[in-house]
Chain A
Amino acid sequence: MTTATVNPPEPARAERLGRTAVSIRNVSKTYGDGHSALLALDDISLDVGAGEFVCTVGASGCGKTTLLNLIAGIYHVQKGTIDVGGRRVSLMFQESALFPWLTVERNVELALQLRKVPKAERRAKVAELLRLVRLDGFAENRPHELSGGMQQRVAIARALAQEAEVMLMDEPFGALDAMTRDVMHDELERIWTSTGLSVLFVTHNVREAVRLGDRVVVLTSRPGRVAEEIAIDLPRPRRIDDRGVSELAGMITDRLKAEVRRHADDTGEDQRG
């Protein structure tokens, strides 16, 4: 075991961490109104530091996806404030959401084009990004010709093309097989350390959260609230089967299960009432 670290610019990172990239203050979100109103998020406050990798875990109905859509500006914030300090925000989904009518290269280029990057600069930038996600040999391919993991790497390249400083990821590896997912974790960790992105990564896979995050935020369900925040001080690069990762994951899983049990009682009462 070598002690080499993958974070060479450690002081710079520490300095960045001092600042806040995303600040969520007392945000609530309700779907519908009147009797059928559903409170999805209840008074959530959460910070993501600049350059920090934050993972949130929660059972179904914790409003993780809602939270990301609010930060990305797809939904309007009804109550509370979300401040990204003017940073460019990108959102990645469980599915790659690449456009099937465009080649891999054009998919990435579209992000640049929509930012009005001059045509002459786009080519070189796209090539550079595809090299970063190691797909430079697949520029001319169509998305459907690639595997799920490769498609998600194109989606990462596309998100980076937006020059986003904040990357929101909504279970991006949820649909991948375990082997590919492991490699994607390594890959994402590498890209994150080399770009200095701030990441808010949503998953229901606790091990994944501990494997990747500087910090894991546990959310309650229906409504979603912050139940607990756990700093992950394990050294990087990590592996999903590290002992430290599994011990912490076990602890957090217990916490989540307790939360799920609480809802078994709720349902019972609803049916009786």
Chain B
Amino acid sequence: MASTVDTLDRELAGLDALDLRRTSKASWAVRAWSATWPKLAAVALALLFWQTLIWIEWKPLYAFPPPAQVFATLGDLVATSEFWLGVATTMRRALLGFAVALVLGTVVGLAVSQMPLLRRAIGSMIAALQTMPSIVWFPLAILLFQLSETAIFFVVVLGAAPSIANGLISGVDHIPPLWLRAGKVLGARRSSAWRHVVIPAAVPTYIAGMKQGWAFAWRSLMAGELLVIIAKTTSIGVRLHFARELSDADLVMAMMIVVLVIGLLVDLAFAKVELGVRRRRGLIEPTG
């Protein structure tokens, strides 16, 4: 009797061992380098292209300055506290607007995904809202809220929320029915089913929606800061606006690089989260 159980035990352990996937992890430095060098190469190529345009004198230098000059301006810029104050204002608006959009988009997305009637009523409306260029909202926003931060928030939230809602809705739509049935068998009902099954199962597409929502929020914010100039407040958009007024091409391009870098950093953060989700769920084919 004991020996039977022992044999079974060893058979199971043997099968388990044979079935397990062996993973070898490359060192941190190797992985970091292999992720970084293609990006560096791309930046170098872009700079070379820019410099070539200068060499062939495509435009006069006061309108289109060379990279070295722009980076020198950027270097001086980041040494000033006024610059960081402006970045802080912009980022505060972006994050706050995005957070509000996240809550709104999630609530609407969940409601629409769970209520067929609501979906029939406003489902396609959400998709339509998503395609509406956010700048179209500004005339109305300014009429409603004057030249104020509220006007900017209004447009940022309207820009981002539909994407987030859509991401969640499509994530819920694509949940394998087996998981929902499994949840039901385990006794998940209504709110516990949402919390333990529906939302976690929808996460990959939900995150994709958030990423797109962020892109819309960021665009809306830049448009807003260029249009809605509030007295005595500095922000990235305001700096960009005045740089153009003063025909300061160096500063215009330096500020554009700042916008690009912030976009890049946020994208990196999203990519990291996405990669983590895919890895934990086994959605990444092991290489090597």
| Chain A residues within 8 Å of B, Cβ to Cβ | 2, 4, 6, 72, 74, 90-91, 93, 95, 97-102, 110-111, 113-115, 134, 142-150, 158, 162, 179-180, 183, 186-187, 190, 237
Contacts of B187 in A (CB 8 A): 111, 114-115, 162
Given A114-B186, A145-B20: A99 and B197 within 8 A (CB)? yes
Given A145-B21, A145-B282: A101 and B201 within 8 A (CB)? yes
Taking A101-B277, A145-B21, A186-B11 as known contacts, 19 extra A-B pairs with beta carbons closer than 8 A to each other, sorted by chain A number, are A4-B1, A74-B184, A97-B178, A99-B200, A100-B280, A101-B200, A101-B280, A102-B200, A114-B187, A142-B282, A144-B282, A146-B19, A147-B15, A147-B16, A150-B16, A150-B19, A180-B15, A183-B11, A190-B5
Which label, helix, strand, loop or mixed, suits the secondary structure of the B interface? helix
Q: Which of B13, B20, B178, B179 contacts A134 (CB 8 A)?
A: B13
* Interface bits B19-52 vs A (CB < 8 Å: 1, else 0): 1110000000000000000000000000000000
Smallest beta-carbon distance A14→chain B, Å: 20
Measured in the bound complex, the distance between the Cα atoms of B186 and A90 in whole Å is 7
Given A149-B15, A183-B11: A72 and B282 within 8 A (CB)? no
B201 contacts A90, C-beta separation under 8 Å: no
Asked if B92 is an interface residue, CB under 8 A from chain A, the answer is no
Q: Which of B4, B19, B20, B196 contacts A237 (CB 8 A)?
A: B4
Contacts of A149 in B (CB 8 A): 15-16, 19
| Chain B residues within 8 Å of A, Cβ to Cβ | 1, 4-5, 8-9, 11-13, 15-16, 19-21, 178-179, 181-182, 184-188, 192, 196-197, 200-201, 203, 277, 280-282
Measured in the bound complex, the distance between the Cα atoms of B192 and A2 in whole Å is 51
A143 contacts B282, C-beta separation under 8 Å: yes
Contacts of A115 in B (CB 8 A): 187
Smallest beta-carbon distance A104→chain B, Å: 12
B178 contacts A95, C-beta separation under 8 Å: yes
Contacts of A100 in B (CB 8 A): 280-282
Measured in the bound complex, the distance between the Cα atoms of B277 and A203 in whole Å is 35
Chain B residue nearest to A90 (CB atoms) is B185
Contacts of B179 in A (CB 8 A): 97, 99
Contacts of B203 in A (CB 8 A): 101
Count of inter-chain pairs, beta carbons less than 8 A: 89
Contacts of A143 in B (CB 8 A): 282
Contacts of B200 in A (CB 8 A): 99, 101-102
Measured in the bound complex, the distance between the Cα atoms of B11 and A231 in whole Å is 30
B201 contacts A99, C-beta separation under 8 Å: yes
A147 contacts B12, C-beta separation under 8 Å: no
Measured in the bound complex, the distance between the Cα atoms of B5 and A186 in whole Å is 9
Smallest beta-carbon distance B172→chain A, Å: 14
A114 contacts B185, C-beta separation under 8 Å: no
Chain A residue nearest to B9 (CB atoms) is A134
Measured in the bound complex, the distance between the Cα atoms of B5 and A150 in whole Å is 18
Measured in the bound complex, the distance between the Cα atoms of B192 and A120 in whole Å is 20
Contacts of B280 in A (CB 8 A): 100-101, 142
B1 contacts A74, C-beta separation under 8 Å: no
Smallest beta-carbon distance B148→chain A, Å: 42
Smallest beta-carbon distance B282→chain A, Å: 2
Residue pairs across A and B with Cβ atoms less than 8 A apart, 12 shown, are A4-B1, A4-B4, A97-B178, A97-B182, A99-B182, A102-B200, A114-B196, A134-B9, A142-B280, A147-B15, A149-B15, A186-B8
